[in-house]
Amino acid sequence: MIDRDLIKRALAEDLDGGEDITSVATVSGTERVVADFVVRTGGVIAGVDMAVAVLEEVGLTDISKLVADGSRANAGTALITVRGDTRAILLAERTALNFLGHLSGIATLTSVWVEAISGTKCKIRDTRKTTPGMRQLEKFAVRMGGGVNHRMSLSDAALIKDNHIAAAGGVAEAFKRVRAKYPTSEIEIEVDNLEQLQEVLPLNPDLILLDNMSPELCKQAVKIVSGKCKLEASGGISLNTARAFGESGVDFLAIGALTHSAPVLDIGLDLRAE
């Protein structure tokens, strides 16, 4: 996936209307080098196409993509090799690495969560807790790590949460209003306990969000719902408890940390003589 407008803004931010004074002072402008983007710590890779597009944006054309997005790479693996003007490569370096490291970090963390619940029917799902302006890229990285996406925007589907319920005067009233206004939209309702679950089930929502419930309560919720709609667990879930939640029988685990707390995957750029 590529967002060329975001790339232009990132490069413009890096130059801030000026020029790369270090490279202009130390590099004559006639040198050509070969450079490799190399993984320092193994993980799942995402953002290769973005990094390549950054290189293209500064005028480089001799670029070899060695690893595809979604691939697992060991430490020391070269992801991209680029040949060309030294100044151009150095200009693109940080922006390309920022995208590559950040998105690969998300993909890698997602893969860890996916592995934690392997063997269950449950899927790891992201949230809207994304970096402003980077939602599509970050959700793409989640998919590369084996996760699935929740709604991309507020207009994709309805998610009736506690504040909506309070504003509407009750969960049934909130549901009725959404269904009347948007009859074809998917509706998900958040509940905090099994009593609320019993209340909303007759409304026939598409999905019920079990907020801050224990694995045992989630298991009871699965029995109560008995396949009438899908269930998603959210809140208070860690990697240590993920399997217990997955084995409870819910369909999804909503994990905001995939995008808001993923550590950057260590990737560097190594220059070598042509």
Answer yes or no: is pLDDT of 274 > 80: no
Whether residue 161 lies in the annotated active site: yes
pTM, two decimal places: 0.95
Across 16-36, average pLDDT: 92
Which ranges of 169-263 does DSSP label H, i.e. alpha helix?
171-181, 194-200, 215-225, 242-247, 257-260
Whether residue 230 lies in the annotated active site: no
- Average pLDDT of the chain to the nearest whole number: 96
Query: Alpha-carbon distance 75 to 28, whole Å?
Result: 33
Long-range Cβ pairs for the range 16-23 (8 Å, 24+): 20/87, 20/90, 20/91, 23/86, 23/87, 23/90, 23/91
Active-site residue, selected from the candidate residues 65, 72, 94, 230: 94
Quote the percentage of the chain above a pLDDT of 70. 100
Whether residue 72 lies in the annotated active site: no
Per residue in 99-154, pLDDT tens?
Answer: 999 999 999 999 999 999 999 999 999 999 999 999 999 999 999 999 999 999 99
Query: Which residues contact residue 219 at a Cβ distance below 8 angstroms, ignoring those fewer than 6 apart?
Result: 248, 249
* 84 closest CA partner among 31, 18, 154: 31
Active-site residue, selected from the candidate residues 161, 186, 216, 270: 161
Answer yes or no: is pLDDT of 171 > 90: no
Whether residue 40 lies in the annotated active site: no
Which range has the worst mean pLDDT, 65-79, 107-121, 157-171?
A: 157-171
Per residue in 216-250, pLDDT tens?
Answer: 999 999 999 999 999 999 999 999 999 999 999 99
What domains can you pick out in the chain, each with its CATH number?
A: 4-108+263-273 (3.90.1170.20), 115-260 (3.20.20.70)
Whether residue 4 lies in the annotated active site: no
Active-site residue, selected from the candidate residues 123, 129, 151, 179: 129
